[in-house]
Amino acid sequence: MRILVTGGAGFIGSALVRRLIEHTDHEVLVFDKLTYAGVLSSLEPVAASNRYSFVQADICDADAVSKALHAFKPDVVAHLAAESHVDRSIDGPGEFIQTNMVGTFVMLNQTLGYWRDLPDADKAAFRFHHISTDEVFGSLGEDGFFSETTPYDPRSPYSASKAGSDHLVRAWGHTYGLPVLVTNCSNNYGPYHFPEKLIPLIIIRALNGEPLPVYGDGSNVRDWLFVDDHARALQAVFETGAPGETYNVGGNAEKQNIEVVTTICAILDRLRPKANGQYADQITYVTDRPGHDQRYAIDASKIRADLDWTPSVTFEQGIEQTVAWYLGNQSWWQDILDARYSTQRLGVAANG
């Protein structure tokens, strides 16, 4: 297969590309603007492959998208490019509307033009796979799970822009017959995760002897999925999923934020003991995120039953590997800290 991956220099996109080059015969074109979140060094392990190529461009640029489609001739578009951080969407929602909604519209419209000109067999085999989030479903109380039929109820500028993009993708499927797939996934973690997100931020700040910020009372719950398991799910969906379908993807690993933070501290106490005290001494409760969703949890029974996908690692295994990766790959994250973002608090825009 020939797979065009938008956002392939990001956290999940680069995990998908590394997987496709290292474990399949597929050819990959990464289409990425290289925003603050695009990190080319995350693609270094596969950059020398003759099945890998890269173009730096914006998904909002219709000409650039059309040119890449017609030159590369993909069988699959795996659309991951997005603004992805909730806290940044609170500080500056405009970029989220532009990239996540307008950019997805441009991707759909240009892909439709490309797809319509394909020979019939290629047309039938083609897939536009939109990678989305469980945050479109809103927030859960203590019980229940998000399924594929849960009504949309997004609450942050980020999740609203992703919900809008999901609707656009389904509309292009229903109205124009474009063979679309949508996946809605829970919180990913693992190597090459940008340090604005909870897990890498806590690891790095712990190692730097800085306060470990826990929003609110730390009781918010997220379902955590190791990023390589997500990449494997994405591959299963675009290779064998039924066009027009949605699949929820989750790790079956619900944790309160405070549990995640104390687990990281305990692993660091073992792998990199401090001279004095324990890493948990650095935990600091800080002002809550405005509009903070309380709980996300995924019912992933459809992808398990239909595509035989389940997570391959537990949270305990995955978090141990992740902490070890950050200890062994300081140059990857130090470059980001030096040039792009140094783990300062984001998303505290005043209410009202």
Residues 40/325/224/89 CA torsion (nearest 10 deg) = -40
Candidates 27, 32, 87, 135; catalytic one: 135
Length of the chain as a residue count: 352
Q: How far is the CB of 132 from ligand DAU (least distance, A)?
A: 8
Candidates 158, 189, 192, 296; catalytic one: 158
Sequence-ordered list of residues with C-beta below 8 angstroms from that of 189, at least 6 positions apart, any chain: 197, 199, 224, 225, 226, 227, 318, 319, 322
The rounded distance, in Å, linking the Cα atoms of 198 and 345 is: 11
**Beta partners for residue 54, in sequence order:** 30
> Contacts with ligand DAU in 263-302 (CB under 6 A)?
289, 296
Token pair belonging to 283: 């935990």
* Cα angle 272-251-245, degrees, rounded to a multiple of 5: 145
- Among residues 5, 29, 46, 60, the one that binds ligand NAD under rule CB under 6 A: 60
How many chain residues touch ligand DAU (CB under 6 A)? 19
The answer to whether residue 235 forms part of the interface with ligand DAU (CB under 6 A) is: no
Which listed range, 2-10, 174-182, 281-289, 323-331, lies at the site for ligand NAD (CB under 6 A)?
2-10
The answer to whether residue 33 forms part of the interface with ligand NAD (CB under 6 A) is: yes
> Contacts with ligand DAU in 191-220 (CB under 6 A)?
197-198, 201, 213-215, 220
Task: Clarify whether 44 is annotated catalytic.
Answer: no
> Contacts with ligand DAU in 17-36 (CB under 6 A)?
none
Task: Clarify whether 135 is annotated catalytic.
Answer: yes
The answer to whether residue 34 forms part of the interface with ligand NAD (CB under 6 A) is: yes
In Å, how far are 61, 129, 183, 247, 255 from 302, measured between CA atoms?
Answer: 35, 17, 11, 7, 22
Residues 51/52/58/62 CA torsion (nearest 10 deg) = -10
Token pair belonging to 152: 């949309």
Task: Clarify whether 308 is annotated catalytic.
Answer: no
Select from ligand NAD, ligand DAU, none the partner in contact with residue 220, using the beta carbon and a kind-dependent cut-off of 5 to 8 Å: ligand DAU
* Residue 167 near residue 103, CB atoms below 8 Å: no
x/- site string to ligand NAD, residues 277 to 306, per CB under 6 A?
------------------------------
The rounded distance, in Å, linking the Cα atoms of 155 and 304 is: 28
The answer to whether residue 252 forms part of the interface with ligand NAD (CB under 6 A) is: no
Sequence-ordered list of residues with C-beta below 8 angstroms from that of 332, at least 6 positions apart, any chain: 39, 41, 42, 192
- Among residues 111, 187, 262, 263, the one that binds ligand DAU under rule CB under 6 A: 187
| Helix, strand, coil tally for the chain in percent (to 5) | 45, 15, 35
Return the number of the residue (197 or 302) whose C-beta is nearest ligand DAU. 197
Residue numbers annotated as active site: 134-135, 158
Residues in contact with ligand DAU by the rule CB under 6 A: 84-86, 133-135, 186-187, 197-198, 201, 213-215, 220, 222, 257, 289, 296
Residues in contact with ligand NAD by the rule CB under 6 A: 6-7, 9-13, 32-35, 37-38, 58-60, 80-84, 99, 103, 131-133, 162, 185, 187-188, 194
